[in-house]
Chain A
Amino acid sequence: MTKVAVLLAAPGLFEQAAFGNAIVLGVLALAAVAGFYCAKNEIWRQALGEVFRRRKLSVLVLGIYVLLALADSISWVGGGEAGADAVQAHEARSLVDRWFEGTTEKSYSAPLGVAEFYDKTPLQRPRAHLLGTNILGQDVLYMTVKGARVALLIGGLTSLIAIPLALFFGLVAGYFGGRIDDIVFFVMSTLASMPGILLLIALIMVLGQSTFSVCMALGVTSWVSFCRLARGETMKLRELDYVAAARALGASHAAILWRHILPNLLHLVVISFVLLFSSLVLAEATLSWLGIGVRGSWGNMIAQAKDELSRDPIIWWNVTAAGVAVFVLLLCVNRIGDALRDVLDPRTLGEGR
């Protein structure tokens, strides 16, 4: 009862916890739907099986990132250690937060160090910080693991905003052509002609600085290139014989778009998702460096390195951990995307392998 009362009394905290858990549920539901669809559809089953065969390591590493991000999204209030302060006791903390409970030191310490980096006082937990601690004494491994959630959230949520938007306008413009195409193309050209970073900064200023507004801003600025691709591909598909055949069978425009054009664009969607995803993670790092990114992201850790790298002796572990985390994630995503592109290319689709 007290727990419920606390949750109701602190709507902000409740929302925070609910948001994270909703994401977990959403991701799991999406994965289930996608898995079910792929298992039913022979082409996708073959393609994904082939990607897994070719890129076992990348898929595995990406899986670890996803698991860490999910672990950091499952959160609830209470159950903290004895001695935690009052604020902490009422905060929703995730699984990852709980794993690294009470690891905070006073300030910098080197990886596996036994003492504070500057004043040489002994650490509370010597040799326990695999990647050292940062300026606030937080475990760098902990921050790096937490960054995975932010990166995947930025990449995933933004793609979920940008790709449906781009796909819808691309399909409509490409299929119907004429005046609709003119309007969509005008909007695309206008957006494409504005300097991306300036537009991003302006949008974030207007929307306010939160994870969601950063995703919105990135989504608005990044849908154009895929929209153009989808439009061009639709224009090509529209002229194909099976579309003509479907019309001769009495299919409506909506049915043709949904059943005949969209499924033939799906390989493009998957590939664009992968490419967009990695560019978005990088874009967020840029925004963090400019100070308008998302809290707790790898970009933030890299931004801190502005000062740390100019010290003597330099603090290298913070930026290195974040850099390696970004690099490995993007490398895996790109390698998987590369394999997907090979496998899903319509020209090689269905050929005996």
Chain B
Amino acid sequence: MSAVLDVSKLMTSFPAGKKRVPVLADVTFSLAAGRCLALVGESGSGKSMTALSILRLVPRPGQIDAGSVTLSGRDLLTLPVPEMRSVRGREIAMIFQEPMTSLNPVVSVGEQVVEAIVLHEKVSKQAARERSVELFRRVGIPDPGARVHSFPHQLSGGLKQRVMIAMALALRPRVLLADEPTTALDVTVQAQILELLRELQAESETAILLITHDFGVVNQLADDIAVMYAGRIVESGSRTAILESPSHPYTRGLLAALPGRARAGERLQEIPGRMPAPADVPVGCPFAPRCPEAIADCGAWTARLTKLDKREVACLRREEAGGAS
């Protein structure tokens, strides 16, 4: 299985005073066609920043310092701006968290899809309009012929997210970055949208990078999981491997904190402390201060991912255990 998207040692930083504070450190993963990789982590762990870095849309004054993002053999980070622009939308599309505010309020939703199409393809407006009706039908919007003339405020959140998906899929991108696509929706709509994404993925072999903090969503859609903590990937592997036998102490803590795993009447488990701000990430293993298994050496150990049976883990204790056995 060859990777469509290869992210390697990606470093992104923001300036703070005279120093630059990294928000992503050595993020490395790859995504194969037709697969779905879930980036999981708390708020501020760098999930969305990873997606924005892939598209080279890191908000100023942040910048990408090092690493490579390879899409089918081309390094996106060194691509000239106009070519990068034609990659966005056409080869890598993104769905945002807030369907409520991600559509232009004064343009009809059909026109917005048309715009996305004519931005990248030399087709007539009429042809693009027909295609947008077809797309609306494909993403399950009822009465697509009439709905294309609606304005965003006339649609529900779920319909708006479907429009966003239609827009993202308009040019059959190879990679879809879905940044919390269901967070702003209620649970039944959430399930429908996830179902839709799964169908579309099966149809078109699109690779999905799913960004979420919701393990329920992960469970429904993802093939693989990468867990992020403080701008680093701390564990990655197949969904079953990670969900059934988490290895990194942070992943274990996260999964133990799920309400579904608690017994009735018992207090939910939690990870003590909070995730450090990018400027306060400690030297050594970033999770060490909160880690129940930390030893003195953790504070001096440079975190790196090492292979451990079906997964990669960045943990000194596992590395020692793996090496010993």
Check B55 for interface membership: any CB of A closer than 8 A.
yes
Chain A residues, CB < 8 A from B103 = 242, 245
* B21-29, B113-121, B127-135, B216-224 - the one binding chain A: B113-121
Once the chains bind, are A248 and B94 in contact (CB under 8 Å)? yes
Given A245-B102, A264-B105, A346-B105: A259 touches B89 (CB 8 Å cut-off): no
Check B167 for interface membership: any CB of A closer than 8 A.
yes
Cβ-Cβ contact count across A and B, 8 Å cutoff:
76
* B80-88, B235-243, B316-324 - the one binding chain A: B80-88
CA distance A252 to B86 in the complex (A): 10
Given A245-B94, A247-B57, A350-B154: A252 touches B102 (CB 8 Å cut-off): no
Check A126 for interface membership: any CB of B closer than 8 A.
no
Chain A residues, CB < 8 A from B116 = 249
CA distance A247 to B51 in the complex (A): 13
Residue of A43, A244, A249, A266 with most partner-chain B CB within 10 A: A249
Residue of B nearest to A255 (CB): B119
- Give B145-167 interface residues, CB cut-off 8 Å to A: 151, 153-154, 164, 167
Once the chains bind, are B98 and A241 in contact (CB under 8 Å)? yes
Chain A residues, CB < 8 A from B89 = 248-251
Which of B87, B93, B101, B104 contacts A263, CB < 8 Å? B104
Check B47 for interface membership: any CB of A closer than 8 A.
no
Number of interface residues of A (CB under 8 A): 23
CA distance A349 to B105 in the complex (A): 9
Check B107 for interface membership: any CB of A closer than 8 A.
yes
Check A240 for interface membership: any CB of B closer than 8 A.
yes
Residue of B nearest to A260 (CB): B104
Chain B residues, CB < 8 A from A260 = 104, 107
Once the chains bind, are B88 and A264 in contact (CB under 8 Å)? no
CA distance A159 to B102 in the complex (A): 33
Which of A241, A259, A266, A350 contacts B96, CB < 8 Å? A241
Chain B residues, CB < 8 A from A247 = 57, 88
Once the chains bind, are B88 and A248 in contact (CB under 8 Å)? yes
Check A42 for interface membership: any CB of B closer than 8 A.
yes
Chain A residues, CB < 8 A from B105 = 242, 264, 346, 349-350
Once the chains bind, are B90 and A240 in contact (CB under 8 Å)? no
Check B1 for interface membership: any CB of A closer than 8 A.
no
- Give A215-253 interface residues, CB cut-off 8 Å to B: 240-242, 244-252
Residue of B nearest to A42 (CB): B151
Check B106 for interface membership: any CB of A closer than 8 A.
yes
CA distance A266 to B105 in the complex (A): 12
Chain A residues, CB < 8 A from B104 = 242, 246, 259-260, 263-264
User: How close is A147's CB to chain B, nearest CB, in angstroms?
Assistant: 38
CA distance A263 to B94 in the complex (A): 23
Which of A250, A259, A346 contacts B88, CB < 8 Å? A250
Once the chains bind, are B151 and A250 in contact (CB under 8 Å)? no
Residue of A nearest to B94 (CB): A248
Chain B residues, CB < 8 A from A346 = 105
Chain A residues, CB < 8 A from B153 = 349-350
Chain B residues, CB < 8 A from A259 = 104, 107, 115
Chain B residues, CB < 8 A from A241 = 96, 98, 101-102
Once the chains bind, are B88 and A263 in contact (CB under 8 Å)? no
CA distance A246 to B113 in the complex (A): 11
Once the chains bind, are A250 and B57 in contact (CB under 8 Å)? no
User: How close is A205's CB to chain B, nearest CB, in angstroms?
Assistant: 44
CA distance A252 to B83 in the complex (A): 11
Chain B residues, CB < 8 A from A244 = 57, 96, 102
Once the chains bind, are B164 and A250 in contact (CB under 8 Å)? no
User: How close is B95's CB to chain A, nearest CB, in angstroms?
Assistant: 9
User: How close is A244's CB to chain B, nearest CB, in angstroms?
Assistant: 7
CA distance A338 to B8 in the complex (A): 57
User: How close is B140's CB to chain A, nearest CB, in angstroms?
Assistant: 20
CA distance A328 to B201 in the complex (A): 64
Once the chains bind, are B119 and A250 in contact (CB under 8 Å)? yes
Given A247-B57, A264-B106: A350 touches B88 (CB 8 Å cut-off): no
Once the chains bind, are A251 and B94 in contact (CB under 8 Å)? no
Chain B residues, CB < 8 A from A42 = 108, 151
Once the chains bind, are B86 and A250 in contact (CB under 8 Å)? yes
Given A245-B96, A245-B164, A249-B167: A263 touches B119 (CB 8 Å cut-off): no
Once the chains bind, are A250 and B115 in contact (CB under 8 Å)? no
CA distance A345 to B87 in the complex (A): 37
Residue of A nearest to B107 (CB): A263
Once the chains bind, are B119 and A242 in contact (CB under 8 Å)? no
CA distance A86 to B127 in the complex (A): 65
Chain A residues, CB < 8 A from B108 = 42
Interface readout for A320-350 with B: 1 if CB under 8 Å, 0 if not? 0000000000000000000000000010011
**Sample of 24 A–B contacts (CB below 8 Å):** A42-B108, A42-B151, A43-B151, A240-B101, A241-B101, A242-B102, A242-B103, A242-B104, A245-B103, A248-B57, A248-B94, A248-B177, A249-B89, A249-B116, A249-B119, A249-B168, A250-B90, A251-B85, A252-B85, A259-B115, A260-B104, A264-B104, A264-B106, A350-B154
In the complex, besides A43-B151, A248-B93, 5 extra interface pairs with C-beta distance below 8 angstroms are A246-B104, A248-B55, A249-B88, A260-B107, A264-B104
Which are the 10 A-B pairs with shortest beta-carbon distances? A250-B88, A250-B89, A249-B89, A248-B94, A241-B101, A350-B153, A241-B102, A245-B102, A263-B106, A242-B104
